[in-house]
Amino acid sequence: MANTGAQKSVKPAIEGWFTLDERAPHLIGSRCRACGNYFFPKESRSCRNPGCGASELEEVQLSARGRLWSYTNNCYAPPPPYVAADPFEPYAVAAVELADEKIVILGQVTPGVRVEDLEVGMEMELALGTLHADAEHEFLVWQWKPAA
């Protein structure tokens, strides 16, 4: 996906939400040292568990695999600030439940995977893909794909 054809530099579409290791990417969340609860995206203020409220939050990489909680797709181009390709290619969106973190996280599904290829409960894994590109940059985002 990166640096194919023209020499574009690759940048994350948002800083600090995921690692850039293409072979084994991880989402970056935070974990409360006191109660063990997780947050995605990162929580920098204090633990939002009202029974805790501790201010000791550590940055952690979240599990890269989970079960498909539900899925859908976008058959029409979303409005800005989404940067839609022209012509627009429909893409699937997945909600994946991470077992250890007990959290459901949304993500686009990798291109070429259609809703017909998905089933609630199947194992999914994290990937990186191109969200959009301009003349100089390719902007990366986390995506879900059926686990190998």
Partner 1 sequence: MAHEVAVLGVGMHPWGKWGRGFVEYGVAAARAALADAGLEWSDVQFVAGGDTVRNGYPGYVAGATFAQALGWSGAQVASTYGACATGSQAIDVARARILAGLCEVALVVGADAAPKGFFAPAGGERHTDPDWLRFRLLGATNPVYFGLYARRRMAVFGATPQDFAQVKVKNSRHGLHNPNARYRKLVTAEEVLASPVVSDPLHLLEICATSDGGAALVLTSMEFARRRATRPVAIAGVSTVTPRYPNTWIEMPNFATDSAAGVAVPDTSFRDSIAKAAYEQAGLGPEDLDCAEVYDLSTALELDWYENIGLCKPGEAEKLLREGATALGGRIPVNASGGLACFGEAVPAQAIAQVCELTWQLRGQAAERQVAGAQVGLSVNQGLFGHGSSVIVKR
Looking only at the bridges linking them, the beta strands covering 103-109 and 137-146 are parallel
Smallest gap from residue 5 Cβ to partner 1 (A): 24
DSSP readout, 21-40? -SSS--BEEEEETTT--EES
Give the total of residues touching partner 1 (CB under 8 A): 49
Tokens, residue 117: 């290829």
Q: Give residues 25-84 in contact with partner 1 (rule: CB under 8 A).
A: 32, 35-41, 48-52, 69-84
Are the CB atoms for 133 and 1 separated by under 8 Å? Answer: no
Of the candidates 115, 133, 146, 147, which one interacts with partner 1 according to CB under 8 A?
A: 115
Residues in contact with partner 1 by CB under 8 A are 13-14, 32, 35-41, 48-52, 69-84, 91-93, 95, 100-108, 115, 120-121, 131, 141
